[in-house]
Chains A and B, each alone.
Chain A
Amino acid sequence: MQRIGVFICHCGTNIAATVDVKAVAEALSHEPGVVFSTDYQYMCSESGQTLMREAIREHKLTGVVVCSCSPRMHEATFRKAAEKEGLNPYMVEIANIREQVSWIHKDMAEATEKAVILGRAAIAKVHLNKPLKAGESPVTKRALVIGGGIAGIQTALDIAEAGFEVDIVEKQPTIGGKMAQIDKTFPTLDCAACILTPKMVDVAQNEKIKIFSYSEVESVKGFVGNFKVEIRKKARYVDEDKCTGCGLCTEKCPQKKVPNEFNMGFDTRRAVYIPFAQAVPKVATIDANNCTMMKTGKCGLCAKLCTAGAIDYKQQDQIVEREYGAIVAATGFNPLKPDKFNELGYSTCQDVVTSLELERLMNAAGPTAGTLLRPSDKTHPHTIVFVQCVGSRCDVENERGKSYCSKICCMYTAKHAMLIREKYPDTDVYVFYIDVRTPGKNFDEFYRRAVEQYGVHYIKGQVGKVVEENGTLKVQASDLLSGEQLHIDADLVVLATAVEPDKSARSIATMLTASMDTNDFFTEAHAKLRPVESPTAGIFLSGVCQGPKDIPETVSQASAAAAKVIGLLAKDKLTCNPCVANSNEMLCNGCSSCEKVCPYGAITYSDKEFRGPNRTTLIRRVATVNEAVCQGCGACTVACPSGAMDLKGFSNRQIMAEVDAICKM
């Protein structure tokens, strides 16, 4: 039997004016197990807490009920005070007689009666309370960043800056991501490479950062503070440590006809290649699908040429196991391939390009050395039509595109239009839009400059059809404002295609037990208040993998994620919430019902030996809760039919005791 002390707070007159506190103290003193019951003006005050502590000592209390304000206000205060007196803090329960009684009821008799009932419910619960101890788990002081685009780069740099080790896993041969392919950036029009590549170099030179390029995450085990990750280093057939990046092999390789993905296939590269001049790490990679040596065993020219002896045709994929305290997903995006939009002619007309393709066609390091030429006949286009929202803001039912707004297209289209008008004033530029969305610092000003200063023709309406006739793109469109049908003879059509999460994100989310929305964007722990954390503890989100964003937003979120990671890695030990689920192995059926509703992947199963009838042993599959990962929601406890799964601090018995106390009048 518990020895329970009950303390009724007047809260000045906040409670005492409506609740007869003396009567409540008197009524509750007769409850079973109650050995001390009193009232006091301000329980939360220093003297109120002293009163409670003295009573704990004097009456050898094993449980405490405070009838006062909401537990959301002072539960922690009273629990700390009890702890100082050697009482387990989880032996303290609060009956909320202010927010739930005195502040909302007028009649004193009625309010007093309700206060007594709430007090009884708390006493009934305390009878079943058990001392709980918050567990601790150590923290591995190293972070993993999945994805080496601008998001991953910024996150890694910030974490390293704070003095922690960071690994970047990038599936491409170089870090840099999409930003490396972009020509200029809005709204300042500075060159993307000029601001990105110094950061790439910083990453390469930072001693705290290790880059796993041309690598993928193979498996993730463990939990916050203690992740074990297997990384697959794909064979690049070049020894990274020996290669000096001189590029001789990439110039002499006889296989010249491989489409260059960095330039969106507008030119070619060799079978051994470095994606672009500023690649990090600057190491060659042999593309085994196109290498003559790898395919037929006859060539080996690069190996002969390489003075460093870095070429290794026999290299194998390598699995590296590393430990981390935190993981950041920065898996980024890809532009949607507009091949379901047949009417826009992307698959049939060479001169219908996507915006990212246009970036390469305008870039000084691109296939045309920065001169804007049509892909088909390498002539200068004089009339250019931009089509916005290709694959964005679509009906979900028609399955051609995405329901969401890709957020960046309005701005980059304005940028393209402006740059073209600036460089080639003889060009007519049309932009077809649904809405022009420009929220952001200096964004609307930027767009207005495109219209007012650069004379870009913005037309509210949609393009219905693009067909090629004798080298001209016949564009049919409607102007929604004038209601007219337009026919434009264009030389180039640019599609502002939607962004979509990288295909690899889904499998990574599964490995991380991080949740995703229906569009395959990672879900944040709280849409407003925890936007850079995944609901899974220790997993953080950086960049477009969480939702469409532009570069400044991506960088802010990347730094925010880094701050969260640093906060985690700065701790030596993590204190866990002790109100977590636990499974009674004797009752567990091993049926996996609980695992299916756990949002954190906190439940695992193992075969354990039990004593069976007649001195036999029995192997049974039973659930175990990882207390460091469990957040204590209790979903599993209801999914469990046998009652094996229960929640500490909110057990079935405790809640039913409260129900009984409330209902029995």
Chain B
Amino acid sequence: MQDVKEFRPTIVAFCCNWCSYAGADLAGSSRLVYPADVKIIRVPCSCRVNPLFILRAFQRGADGVIMAGCHPGDCHYTSGNYFARRRMTLLFSMLDYLGIERERTRVEWISAAEGAKFAKTMNEFVATVTALGENKRLEDLRCKK
């Protein structure tokens, strides 16, 4: 008999330094629990997130990728998240078009004051990705765990 291990997804969260990363800090200092499956990468702005990074994450075994930035209109750099929004809209639509599960990618706007939203979003996203199971459609077999 093989061990049936409970599936735990790997989630990469790109968070902008000014809003969402600070929102994650607030979630932390408010002791709001979300699963350890989420690992945060700090970027200066959501507009720093290159589609390459997202594909790279899937390649290396991520099961879900989420990008979080300042609310539209609140970008520290005034327009970064507006550009990021267009890029991610198109990229995610393309992934969907290729038959890659839409639910594996997500964009959320989380301000520095929204610790609770950060935790809630991560809880939801982990639940969604866990339900989907392992990412098989965009994996690189060489990078298999």
Contacts and interface: CB of A to CB of B under 8 A. Distances in A.
Interface of A: 70-72, 96, 98-101, 103-107, 110-111, 113-114, 117-118, 121, 515, 523, 525-527, 535, 579, 597, 599, 631-635, 637-639, 647, 650, 652, 655-656, 658-660, 662-665
Interface string B68-100: 000001101111100100010000000000000
B48 A664 contact: no
Interface string B2-38: 0000000010100001000110110111011110100
Contacts of A660: 56, 60
Given A118-B39, A664-B143, A633 B47 contact: yes
Given A99-B25, A633-B48, A633-B80, 4 more contacts: A99-B28, A104-B33, A650-B43, A665-B10
A656 to B, nearest CB: 5
Nearest to B50: A638
12 contacts: A99-B28, A100-B28, A110-B36, A114-B36, A527-B73, A535-B77, A535-B78, A633-B45, A633-B76, A634-B47, A635-B79, A652-B53
B31 A647 contact: no
Given A634-B48, A635-B47, A663-B62, A121 B28 contact: no
5 closest residue pairs by CB, A with B: A99-B28, A634-B48, A663-B60, A633-B77, A635-B47
Interface string B46-66: 011111110011001110000
A630 to B, nearest CB: 10
Given A72-B25, A104-B31, A662 B45 contact: no
B79 A597 contact: yes
A12 to B, nearest CB: 15
B27 A663 contact: no
Contacts of A114: 36, 39
A537 B47 CA distance: 19
B132 interface: no
Given A104-B34, A121-B41, A599 B12 contact: no
A96 B56 contact: no
B44 A579 contact: yes
Contacts of A117: 39
A602 to B, nearest CB: 11
Contact of A104 (B12, B32, B76): B32
A663 B44 contact: no
Q: Report which residue of B24, B62, B73, B145 has the largest number of chain A beta carbons within 10 angstroms of its beta carbon.
A: B24
Q: Report which residue of A103, A113, A121 has the largest number of chain B beta carbons within 10 angstroms of its beta carbon.
A: A103
Contact of B44 (A72, A111, A633, A662): A633
Given A98-B28, A106-B33, A118-B39, A634 B60 contact: no
Contacts of A647: 44, 48
Nearest to A102: B28
B42 interface: yes
B41 A658 contact: yes
B116 interface: no
Nearest to B60: A663
A118 B40 CA distance: 8
Q: Report which residue of A523, A633, A637 has the largest number of chain B beta carbons within 10 angstroms of its beta carbon.
A: A633
B58 to A, nearest CB: 9
Q: Report which residue of B36, B73, B76, B87 has the largest number of chain A beta carbons within 10 angstroms of its beta carbon.
A: B36
Given A658-B41, A663-B60, A664-B61, A599 B78 contact: yes
B77 A111 contact: no
B36 A111 contact: yes
A103 B29 CA distance: 7
Contact of A599 (B22, B41, B77): B77
Nearest to A535: B78
A118 B28 CA distance: 15
A395 B57 CA distance: 46
Given A660-B56, A663-B143, A104 B39 contact: no
Contacts of B29: 99, 103
Contact of B43 (A104, A106, A523, A634): A634
Contacts of B83: 597, 635, 638-639
Interface residues of B, number: 46
B34 A525 contact: no
Given A70-B25, A635-B47, A635-B79, A103 B36 contact: no
Contact of B39 (A70, A631, A633, A662): A662
Nearest to A103: B28
Given A515-B78, A638-B49, A663-B61, A103 B41 contact: no
Nearest to A107: B36
A201 B41 CA distance: 57
B78 A523 contact: yes
A362 to B, nearest CB: 41
Nearest to A600: B77
Contact of B31 (A72, A103, A655): A103
Nearest to A110: B36
A287 to B, nearest CB: 41
B48 A663 contact: no
Given A599-B79, A634-B45, A96 B40 contact: yes
B16 to A, nearest CB: 9
Contact of B77 (A107, A631, A656, A664): A631
A526 B44 CA distance: 16
A100 B49 CA distance: 20
Given A100-B40, A663-B12, A599 B80 contact: yes
Nearest to B10: A663
A105 B122 CA distance: 13
Contact of B48 (A103, A638, A665): A638
A597 B143 CA distance: 34
Contacts of B74: 527
Nearest to A647: B48
A99 B27 CA distance: 7
A227 B124 CA distance: 50
A529 to B, nearest CB: 10
Nearest to A117: B39
A663 B65 CA distance: 11
Contacts of B12: 659, 662-663
Interface string B99-137: 000000000000000000001000000000000000000
Contacts of A631: 77
Contacts of B22: 72
A133 to B, nearest CB: 18
Contacts of A639: 83
A94 B37 CA distance: 19
B36 A637 contact: no
A146 B38 CA distance: 50
A113 B44 contact: no
Contacts of A655: 41, 43, 48, 50, 53
Contact of A515 (B36, B61, B79): B79
A195 B25 CA distance: 50
Contacts of B47: 597, 633-635, 638
A263 to B, nearest CB: 41
Contacts of A650: 43-44, 48
